[in-house]
Structure 1
Amino acid sequence: MAPAATTSTQDGGTPSMLNLTSNLMMKFKPAKIFKNAVEPTPPPSPGPHSSRAQNNGPRHITGISFDDRGDQLITASEDETFRLYSCKSGKQLKVLYSKKYGVDLPRFTHKNTTILHASTKEDDTIRYHSLHDNKYLQYFKGHKDKVISMEVSPVDDGFMSGSMDKTVRLWDLRSPYCRGLLNLPSSPVVAYDASGLVFAVAVNHYSRILLYDQANFDKAPFLAITLEDPTLALITYPPRIPFMTSLAFSSNGKYLLVGCSGNAHYILDAFEGHLIAKLEGHTGLERRKMSNQPPGIEPVRGCSGEEVSWTPDSKFVLSGSLDGKIYIWDVQNLPVPQGPVDLKAPPMRLKPMSALEGHPGPSRCVKFNPRLAMMCSAGAELAFWLPDQSGEPDEIAKELLKKKAAASG
């Protein structure tokens, strides 16, 4: 697998992709597919309990994370392994096991040799792990139920976690003790903005997204946004309420991408709370039948939540789908909200500009590399995507030639 082209930086020092355009985005194709990225589901054990529900179909990767430099990728899967990959060589570097506790929500810290991860069984402790020597460096205890959302601060050693115990906890890698606690009416989803000064908490119980000042998290949120989509009443009445599974700020902090388990994701104005756009065209992952769970009801953690994300320049949104395709929306020309927030005003309805063929089954995790022109998708398999450079015009080659010419004077 040839190394992907590197990114440039904008005036603020923020990484920006190599001039991502609609034409280039539609050229992405799987350059490397790891068909054995997850151990197969074992056969049912014989005996009196063999009739107990088994997982339906193959095991899946449920979480992925790039390091800050975009050199490495970590995955976590239902086989209780986490695996390290090189983004430049396209090779698997390590397979590590967490059979006792399970592993979910892998997150690189600002060192590419250490990660955080949540547990799926035994207890609800967050673990700080050294990939270099395969040892745990710290345990973060406090949650009383499964951690379903976790993000690392973009600027320091802080991180936060949301749990089914209806709390958000704020932590620092240097201390095992929780430094902040928010009690909420239902299980929360969390996200930092790019500055690390603001964080958002989605609460499905009220269809609200609460924005907090990091320095004054113990005070009331400075903005409460209601996610209400009036177009849903055109489908069913009473309308079905969207179930939020992920949050992500755009790189400039102006927008919030709200990932949902159903057939739509949303973009909100992060300053005042206007509902700007509804992203349609994919098939929501909630329809994937889980063990002991009929399709179409509130999803369990891992079914949905990591399948939708921005490109680093926030020009495009990527999403996985139940059909395995990767859907891409061009969000460069969003309408500018006017006047006070009107919950009855319909959002712009955006169809995907492209649907890329990739997986034989659900594409459950999709992320773009923060510094290289590549993306990753995962489900029962793992795929590294690069733009196909065989066509004309070859935009990556042209950009590199421009840089070489400028450097040579």
Structure 2
Amino acid sequence: MKTDFNFSNLLGTVYRKGNLVYTEDGNTLLSPVGNRVTIFDLVNNKSHTLPFAHRTNIARIALHPQGQLLLTVDEQGHAILSHFTRRVVLYHFSLKGAVSAVVFSPSGRFFAVALGRKIEVWKTPSTPGSTEGDEEGGGLGFAPFVRYRTYVGHHDAVQNIEWSSDGRFFLSASKDLTARIWSLDPEEGFTPTVLAGHRTAVHAAWFSYDQETIYTISKDGALFQWRYLPPPDVDPDALTADDERWRIDERHYFFQDHAHLTTAAFHASSKLLVTGFSNGIFMLHELPSFSEIHKLSISLSTIDTVSVNKSGEWLAFGSSAQGQLLVWEWQSESYILKQQGHFDNLNALTYSPSGDRIITCADDGKIKVWDAASGFCVVTFTEHTSGVTACEFARRGNVLFTASLDGSVRAFDLIRYRCFRTFTAPKRLSFSSIAVDPSGEVVAAGSLDDFDVHIWSVQTGQLLDALSGHEGPISSLSFAPNGGTLISGSWDRTVRLWSIFQRTQTSEPLQLQADVLAVVVRPDSKQIAVSTLDGQLTFWSLSSGSQESGLDGRRDASGGRKATDRRLAANVAGTKSFDTIAYSADGTVLLASGNSKYICLYAVETGVLLRKFTVSINLSLDGTQEFLNSQLLTEAGPQALLDQSGEASDLEDRMDTTLPGSKRGDAGTRKAAPEVRVPSVAFSSTGRAFCAASTEGLLIYSLDSAVTFDPFDLDIDVTPASTLKTLQQGKWLQALIMAFRLSAPKLLRHVYITISVTDIDLVVRDVPAVYLERLLRFVAVEADTSPHFQLNLIWIEALLRLHGRVLKERQGEFAEVVRLVQRAVGRLQGEIMRMTEKNERAVEFFLAQPKPGAEVQIKAIGNGHAETNGHANGGAGRHNEDEEMSDGSAEAEWIGLD
């Protein structure tokens, strides 16, 4: 089995903190999720996460106007410049301070950064072969970050930067109650201007579309409109050029009781102002009239950021407290995207039998169903009233079973998306483990409050039995895939095998040396894997009940020290065991994870550690550091344990709303850093991917995530002329790949039609894997728009026949394009059927028509044919003209309808 799994996607988290950014076309949204960036394709309904990661949570992101360069900055000021389309890191750089705003200039040659009270403008690094960026080195190679100018004048932190449309000026809004106008380069007759008058911190400032007006908005909801005007009550004849300056022309106010403004965005071309408040309400106004268009409550907590796409149609909102991400189309008043991740720790996950759905459950009491292909949450169940601890699929049918701390086990129908069964015990128990019989008729659950295993009938919902025998809490349950045995693990250091379908429900105990944490059965029902508290993994024969092998995983499992630990990471006791284990589909490898940042992949036969995956390098999480950083030590102890919120300038930021004595309190206002851990792992049914529930979200590792090397990427001679020349030489495959590289639709269509029909099989067989998805998509579009029915069907048949196995194994990646092909084939079938039906009726109609005045005289001639004199109606006359002999007679090999 292949084991070269790589990070593929991050689900379960859609927004953490920071700003949201649209691409230039407005169809894609970039959202920071912890120390990574997730890309949401709003048109194709897909999402993916960029492979690189920061050392701390991302604070700000900015996208180049041309859409190629992405700049991300974390909380400590470390910046990563990456190629957005290629998903490749280009450069690492440190801005040496916390960043509150990052904005590219309209031309893309500069970007402005707000570092506390000062503003720095940097030259955008140039890319090889481009004329953008540094004037001295543009086009000659890659130039790293070069600081262009520093602007100082504000007395408090700068919160927002906005460029003018020509890129000559920019506005800055600060907490010192002022906004300022700066020029990029020294301008004759211009001096930096201060716009003062607000009573609270200025949140943002913008230019109007014609740049004749400036709008500033403050935290208390005051909107000021500034114009370049002379002083009032002064004789116009006595005015001089120095008397005119920026003055407040109009004042508008948002009246929101017990709420303050938290975010705002202005779309200059459509004159739309979007504002978000701390009570979850957003408002949409038209300027300069300040007429209210919409007012809607979209969240129960603070709206942290808002962004408007280039056309001004879609508004994106982010709320960090609830982990919400919304895209709203204000004209039709409908949601384009409405996603929310778990806002508490994930506890368990499971794959659906088909492998296209992933189910997660968390301490927030929610159960979410994720589409593995698109990365979106399909449905959320909220029936449980407390944390959900375990979930498992029935092998037959789309039925999901969950166990919760609220004392219930529930069954959900994933076709109708409803809860249809609720199982409870005679006394109130907090269930922590669950197992489902392969037939789907029996469900078993265990609890840490009781020593019995409870069994219910799925059909009736009645409690069938409570299996007694363990002398400690039940930690793990699992049914053998053949359905004959129930395996239970307990803290009493035993694993018991129950034959629940026999008359005598005997249990055979297997004795271990430490508390049992997890039990799992191999898919062939011949072996059991057990993880214990001492870090040992033991493998037992299910039929004989004897131990086959074992391995010590303490050294592999341990890693990472917390801020409160007084020992080294290698000596921390809480991370030296595996809380969850999972077999692969073929049973050859075993995944194991626990309270550390590592996921270990073992070979079952030899017990060798094959791979060790690092879940996160995010220092914002507790437990990711291996060594103590002496720079973070103070006289009062580690800096991470100090509550520094009391030094905040705003009252609401200084107030402590957490529960007394609690480490976490409210999920939205936790003071302690969340601890990195991996409570659950699972393999997909195909074996080409596995997912892990971690503190950062649902991580997916896949065999198909690596970018395939394309040798044509390095060829600078790929031009339309060279492509046509290659096509004339009969090099079909090379011409097709060159056309794909150029992304020229007309050229690609010409190559597609020119390729010889007899060579289509050879071209399809040898097409590189990196172009398979693009070729399928192109053929599907051609089948929808092109009149070449047979040619398109030959291409589709060859693609499905020669690459069907790849499409099935990587169905998550090719699901969308396969649906396009299916839709195109269905449309072709429908058109052909309609055409044949129409022709059949037309022929029947013509055959039924009388022929008045038509006389067809047929006489026999010597050669056995029929000779006609005169013409019949319809095509008979034309037939005689086509076959007219040189002597003026006509022969026909048909018999008249009369």
Higher RCO (C-alpha 8 Å, min separation 6): 1
Per the TM alignment, residue 195 of structure 1 is displaced from its structure 2 partner at its CA by: 0.4
Aligned to 1:38: 384
Q: Is the 8 A contact 1:254 1:270 kept in 2?
A: yes
Q: Is the 8 A contact 1:107 1:116 kept in 2?
A: yes
Aligned to 1:133: 460
**Identity of matched residues, %:** 16
Aligned to 1:225: 551
Aligned to 2:171: none
Per the TM alignment, residue 146 of structure 1 is displaced from its structure 2 partner at its CA by: 0.6
When structure 1 is superposed on structure 2, of 131-140 and 183-192 the one drifting more is 131-140
Q: Is the 8 A contact 2:581 2:681 kept in 1?
A: no
Residue 494 of structure 2, aligned match among 144, 164, 167: 167
In the superposition, relative to structure 1, how do residues 84 and 400 fare at CA in structure 2: closer, same or farther (>3 Å)?
farther
Runs of 4+ in 1 over 6 A off after TM superposition: 283-287, 292-295, 399-405
Aligned to 1:193: 522
Q: Is the 8 A contact 1:200 1:210 kept in 2?
A: yes
Name stretches of at least 5 consecutive residues in structure 2 with no aligned partner.
1-352, 359-370, 562-567, 625-660, 665-675, 707-807, 828-898
Q: How does 1:195-274 map to 2 (within 5 A)?
A: 195-205=524-534, 207-217=535-545, 219=546, 221-229=547-555, 236-240=568-572, 241-274=575-608
Name stretches of at least 5 consecutive residues in structure 1 with no aligned partner.
1-14, 40-58, 296-302, 335-372, 374-385
CA distance in 2, matches of 1:204, 1:263: 17
**Residue 317 (1) aligns with residue 690 (2):** yes
Per the TM alignment, residue 321 of structure 1 is displaced from its structure 2 partner at its CA by: 2.3
| RMSD between superposed Cα atoms in Å | 3.9
Aligned to 1:27: 374
SS at 2:376's partner residue?
A: strand
CA distance in 2, matches of 1:110, 1:127: 17
Q: How does 1:104-115 map to 2 (within 5 A)?
A: 104-115=432-443
In the superposition, relative to structure 1, how do residues 251 and 286 fare at CA in structure 2: closer, same or farther (>3 Å)?
farther
**Residue 330 (1) aligns with residue 662 (2):** no
Per the TM alignment, residue 242 of structure 1 is displaced from its structure 2 partner at its CA by: 3.0
Q: Is the 8 A contact 1:285 1:321 kept in 2?
A: no
Aligned to 2:291: none
SS at 1:216's partner residue?
A: coil
CA distance in 1, matches of 2:622, 2:444: 25
In the superposition, relative to structure 1, how do residues 260 and 306 fare at CA in structure 2: closer, same or farther (>3 Å)?
closer
CA distance in 1, matches of 2:594, 2:821: 36
In the superposition, relative to structure 1, how do residues 93 and 399 fare at CA in structure 2: closer, same or farther (>3 Å)?
farther
Q: Is the 8 A contact 2:594 2:679 kept in 1?
A: no
Residue 278 of structure 1, aligned match among 612, 615, 627: 612
When structure 1 is superposed on structure 2, of 133-142 and 162-171 the one drifting more is 133-142
CA distance in 1, matches of 2:524, 2:542: 10
Q: Is the 8 A contact 2:679 2:694 kept in 1?
A: no
In the superposition, relative to structure 1, how do residues 399 and 96 fare at CA in structure 2: closer, same or farther (>3 Å)?
farther
Per the TM alignment, residue 129 of structure 1 is displaced from its structure 2 partner at its CA by: 0.3
Aligned to 2:51: none
Amino acid of the structure 1 residue aligned with 2:528: F
Question: Greater helix percent: which structure?
Answer: 2
In the superposition, relative to structure 1, how do residues 333 and 116 fare at CA in structure 2: closer, same or farther (>3 Å)?
same
SS at 2:543's partner residue?
A: helix
Q: Is the 8 A contact 1:109 1:152 kept in 2?
A: yes
Q: Is the 8 A contact 1:108 1:115 kept in 2?
A: yes
SS at 1:238's partner residue?
A: helix
Q: Is the 8 A contact 1:81 1:99 kept in 2?
A: no
Q: Is the 8 A contact 2:557 2:598 kept in 1?
A: no
Q: How does 1:373-384 map to 2 (within 5 A)?
A: none
SS at 2:550's partner residue?
A: strand
SS at 2:420's partner residue?
A: strand
TM-score for both structures, normalised by structure 2: 0.30
Aligned to 1:351: none
Q: Is the 8 A contact 1:245 1:304 kept in 2?
A: no
Q: How does 1:6-17 map to 2 (within 5 A)?
A: 17=355
Per the TM alignment, residue 106 of structure 1 is displaced from its structure 2 partner at its CA by: 2.2
Per the TM alignment, residue 211 of structure 1 is displaced from its structure 2 partner at its CA by: 1.1
Q: Deviations over 1:229-278 (max 9, x none)?
A: 46967974534453211111101111001121222221111110111112
Residue 470 of structure 2, aligned match among 109, 122, 143: 143
Q: Deviations over 1:17-43 (max 9, x none)?
A: 47x9xxx94622101112x3322xxxx
Amino acid of the structure 1 residue aligned with 2:465: Q
Per the TM alignment, residue 314 of structure 1 is displaced from its structure 2 partner at its CA by: 2.1
Per the TM alignment, residue 98 of structure 1 is displaced from its structure 2 partner at its CA by: 3.2
Q: Is the 8 A contact 1:167 1:183 kept in 2?
A: yes
Aligned to 1:394: 816
CA distance in 1, matches of 2:399, 2:519: 24
Amino acid of the structure 1 residue aligned with 2:492: D
Per the TM alignment, residue 223 of structure 1 is displaced from its structure 2 partner at its CA by: 1.4
In the superposition, relative to structure 1, how do residues 396 and 74 fare at CA in structure 2: closer, same or farther (>3 Å)?
farther
CA distance in 2, matches of 1:115, 1:68: 12
Q: Is the 8 A contact 1:169 1:178 kept in 2?
A: no
Q: Is the 8 A contact 2:541 2:548 kept in 1?
A: yes
Q: How does 1:75-90 map to 2 (within 5 A)?
A: 75-90=402-417
CA distance in 2, matches of 1:135, 1:108: 15
CA distance in 1, matches of 2:448, 2:418: 27
CA distance in 2, matches of 1:81, 1:285: 32
Q: Is the 8 A contact 1:168 1:183 kept in 2?
A: yes
Per the TM alignment, residue 97 of structure 1 is displaced from its structure 2 partner at its CA by: 3.1
In the superposition, relative to structure 1, how do residues 404 and 286 fare at CA in structure 2: closer, same or farther (>3 Å)?
farther
TM-score for both structures, normalised by structure 1: 0.63
In the superposition, relative to structure 1, how do residues 110 and 397 fare at CA in structure 2: closer, same or farther (>3 Å)?
same
Amino acid of the structure 2 residue aligned with 1:31: V
Q: Is the 8 A contact 2:484 2:501 kept in 1?
A: yes
When structure 1 is superposed on structure 2, of 255-264 and 277-286 the one drifting more is 277-286
Q: Is the 8 A contact 2:452 2:467 kept in 1?
A: yes
